Amino acid sequence: MIDDAYSANPVGAQNVLDVLALYESGRRVLITPGIVELGPLHEPENYRLGQRAAQVCTDIVLVGIEQTRPIQKGIHDAGFAEDHLFVFDTRDEAIAWFNRELKDGDTVLFLNDLPDTYL
């Protein structure tokens, strides 16, 4: 598990995805609500996050349907397999997926952690 839940910013997000890419066995899973508090950069930076995540991850779990629209678009535009993208309304739903789906040998990156009231 890579815990980057408390310091999400555009540069750091790209760097930690580079770290995730180093894991070659098992699945590489990103769980994130995206990067927030970017003002007018919210959409382009989260779109870039989706594009890079699509290159690195085998599975992507997004938290917050509306909040993650730019990430979803970046993932889609990168040609990522739709059946490996999971979008949940709440953090609890994402954690339930994590507990149910991940196996030994998988690597998960938690990028940012917003309370559900923020989504």
Identify the segments of the chain with pLDDT beneath 50: 116-119
* In contact, 62 and 68? CB cutoff 8 Å: yes
Exposure string (b/e) for 67-103, b if CB count within 10 Å is 16 or more? bbbbbbebbeeeebeeeebbbbeebeebeebbeeebe
The whole-number pLDDT of residue 7 equals 67
Q: What is the pLDDT of residues 56-80, one digit of tens each?
A: 999 999 999 998 999 999 999 999 9
Q: What are phi and psi of 107, to 5 degrees?
A: -120, 135
The whole-number pLDDT of residue 114 equals 60
At what angle are helices 42-56 and 69-77 packed, to 10 degrees? 50
Computed over every residue of the chain, the mean pLDDT equals 92
The whole-number pLDDT of residue 116 equals 47
